[in-house]
A and B are shown apart, each in its own frame.
Chain A
């Protein structure tokens, strides 16, 4: 059953996946098995995306399937043990910019690659990053931006993290739209990630995850 569920999700067969999951719940399967299968499937989806076999439609459909399955076993979910994560990433689109497609892909890929990701959404003021770093204690900060205004907003965000004395605790990556290596240097970030895979590679390198 769980193998079938893995394949149905990974192969984008939404109806089949939901039916199998529903049947497993009804048959009294261990919710851990369902969650594990879904996670395994997400892992495959992530790998296929990395290989250039999957694109936005598949990431979005996979996310939808995951959400629906999670909803089915919600009552059981709270009792389950936390999964081991490689590290924590704080992500957001910088102040003034409300674009989120790229950021959402990076969030998805970091998540399926085993990171605990906190997404602050769009138009995030520098102080919001600073406050959240203090509470969430991430090793990695990912700043996203699509418009040219994001160049300065990234610089201001890194500056605010520095001013709060937190710069040495985190590694900062930037990406999105017209951002490149030069913008990373200008902003005072540690690296530029060309795409979601580059972001995952950076996060793994910085947190020592394999």
Chain B
């Protein structure tokens, strides 16, 4: 039997993989110059050293983790970025080169507009479908899972998703509501009955839509993947492996909705806890699986409804943190580096979340005071942040420079810091964004 790799070995293997990238044909990726190859490796190691907190990198790494900024800054509308995959990829490549960041996060943020149309996606409004061409897509909050459906979700999460939830959020998946119960397909006698739905027009129509949507997704992935590949040959790595979510947010964001999940805390707390337990291993598998597939170690975990002001300390400790902690530890166990984004303020949560294994996580910090974070969570975790959107939007390059220096002084003098924006932004003055990058490169050198 093959010896089981330890979590550390798994992670090292992932880092080795990203340091030796392969082209689409499986051969080593041809860099455009020896300088590009050198820069590529230096940038990855700079990130790795900052995250692992074992030794100081040569300087504080810097990145930009934007929402629609790369495309708006290129003079495009969000609509164009969503519908013209080629233009989307070109603008993103230019963005990475112009701002010359250490690592980038890929051009996938706009997503394929045509795909969303084919699927009749109801969960979001996007340009031309509920929001203006120049505006970013936004979630249509709702109660997509009803209060009495917890048992169905707990007993068979995949079946609940395929037959109940997905047909509600994708109009084109309405045929899935008729799919057979797959664990019931057991023996020859009567087995054909299970396949009758596939002969019916609604199911067949859904599959036709799926073929079309899959083709569209592939076309889009080719364009954004191509951008990744070309940027790598120029020396700019993308080490994002995928994403997963806190189980409380899985239920609260897009299943029960904010109101639903908040009421469930009082009306059916046991069901809520049970459901979060049921989906916790799935959320771990989702992250580890994505990391294995892409070969990249970082798994993004956007945190929403556990921020300051949403829940009491007791509610956070009882409902939000236990399953999130399990997800983070499960990702670490699988060799990944979880990247939780503490959107909003997290001051009241720092004490609870601070005891994670050292050098294994990277936390994106938004509005929380960086000195406070450094003194608590930052003892064991590398921090990513936290230049505010308002400053990038309305400030001057000098103000951005001052802010970045303050962040480095407060949170970066002994490693464990990557300078970045604090929240996902669309609009900003490019000279301010540039000042964030340039200041870090000059001021953040470790001597």
Contacts from A to B (Cβ < 8 Å): 12, 14, 53-57, 60-61, 64, 96-101, 123, 147-149, 151-152, 177-180, 182-183, 186, 195
Instruction: Give chain B residues whose Cβ lies under 8 Å from the Cβ of A178.
Output: 388-390, 423, 425
The answer to whether A56 and B309 have CB atoms under 8 Å apart is yes
Instruction: Give chain A residues whose Cβ lies under 8 Å from the Cβ of B391.
Output: 182
The answer to whether A56 and B311 have CB atoms under 8 Å apart is yes
A178–B422 CA distance with the chains assembled, in angstroms: 10
The answer to whether A149 and B262 have CB atoms under 8 Å apart is no
CB of B315 within 8 Å of the partner chain: yes
A22–B391 CA distance with the chains assembled, in angstroms: 53
Given known A-B contacts A55-B311, A96-B132, A60 and B428 have beta carbons under 8 A apart: no
Give which listed residue, B267, B315, B395, contacts A55 with CB less than 8 A. B315
The answer to whether A53 and B312 have CB atoms under 8 Å apart is yes
Besides A57-B262, A61-B266, 14 other CB < 8 A contacts? A12-B266, A14-B266, A53-B312, A56-B310, A57-B315, A64-B263, A96-B135, A98-B138, A99-B138, A147-B426, A148-B427, A149-B135, A178-B423, A183-B393
Give which listed residue, A53, A57, A64, A148, contacts B425 with CB less than 8 A. A148
The answer to whether B423 and A55 have CB atoms under 8 Å apart is no
Instruction: Give chain B residues whose Cβ lies under 8 Å from the Cβ of A61.
Output: 262-263, 266-267
The answer to whether B388 and A180 have CB atoms under 8 Å apart is yes
Given known A-B contacts A96-B132, A180-B388, A56 and B258 have beta carbons under 8 A apart: yes
- Interface range, B side: 35 or more
Chain B, residues 46-84, CB within 8 Å of chain A (1/0): the string is: 000000000000000000000100000000000000000
CB of B445 within 8 Å of the partner chain: no
Among residues of B, the one whose C-beta sits closest to the C-beta of A95 is: B132
Instruction: Give chain B residues whose Cβ lies under 8 Å from the Cβ of A123.
Output: 131
CB of B354 within 8 Å of the partner chain: no
The answer to whether A179 and B135 have CB atoms under 8 Å apart is no
A88–B136 CA distance with the chains assembled, in angstroms: 32
CB of B140 within 8 Å of the partner chain: yes
Instruction: Give chain A residues whose Cβ lies under 8 Å from the Cβ of B136.
Output: 147, 149
CB of B218 within 8 Å of the partner chain: no
Instruction: Give chain B residues whose Cβ lies under 8 Å from the Cβ of A180.
Output: 388, 390
Contacts from B to A (Cβ < 8 Å): 67, 125, 130-132, 134-136, 138, 140-141, 258-259, 262-263, 265-267, 305, 309-312, 315, 388-391, 393-395, 423, 425-428
The answer to whether B266 and A101 have CB atoms under 8 Å apart is no
Q: For the complex formed, measure the closest distance between the CB of A195 and the CB atoms of chain B, giving whole angstroms.
A: 7
Instruction: Give chain B residues whose Cβ lies under 8 Å from the Cβ of A97.
Output: 138
Among residues of B, the one whose C-beta sits closest to the C-beta of A179 is: B390
Q: List 15 A-B contacts (CB under 8 A).
A: A14-B266, A14-B267, A56-B305, A56-B311, A57-B263, A57-B315, A60-B258, A61-B262, A96-B131, A99-B138, A147-B136, A149-B426, A151-B390, A151-B393, A182-B395
Closest 10 pairs (CB-CB, A-B): A178-B389, A57-B262, A57-B265, A148-B427, A60-B262, A96-B135, A148-B426, A98-B138, A148-B425, A180-B390
Instruction: Give chain A residues whose Cβ lies under 8 Å from the Cβ of B266.
Output: 12, 14, 57, 61
Instruction: Give chain B residues whose Cβ lies under 8 Å from the Cβ of A151.
Output: 390, 393-394, 427
Q: For the complex formed, measure the closest distance between the CB of B129 and the CB atoms of chain A, giving whole angstroms.
A: 12
Given known A-B contacts A12-B266, A55-B311, A98-B125, A60 and B259 have beta carbons under 8 A apart: yes
Instruction: Give chain A residues whose Cβ lies under 8 Å from the Cβ of B125.
Output: 98
Give which listed residue, A55, A60, A183, A195, contacts B312 with CB less than 8 A. A55
Instruction: Give chain B residues whose Cβ lies under 8 Å from the Cβ of A186.
Output: 394
Instruction: Give chain A residues whose Cβ lies under 8 Å from the Cβ of B310.
Output: 55-56
Instruction: Give chain B residues whose Cβ lies under 8 Å from the Cβ of A64.
Output: 263
Instruction: Give chain B residues whose Cβ lies under 8 Å from the Cβ of A152.
Output: 427
Among residues of B, the one whose C-beta sits closest to the C-beta of A180 is: B390
Q: For the complex formed, measure the closest distance between the CB of B314 and the CB atoms of chain A, giving whole angstroms.
A: 10
The answer to whether A195 and B309 have CB atoms under 8 Å apart is yes
Q: For the complex formed, measure the closest distance between the CB of B359 and the CB atoms of chain A, giving whole angstroms.
A: 30
A101–B389 CA distance with the chains assembled, in angstroms: 20
A12–B315 CA distance with the chains assembled, in angstroms: 14
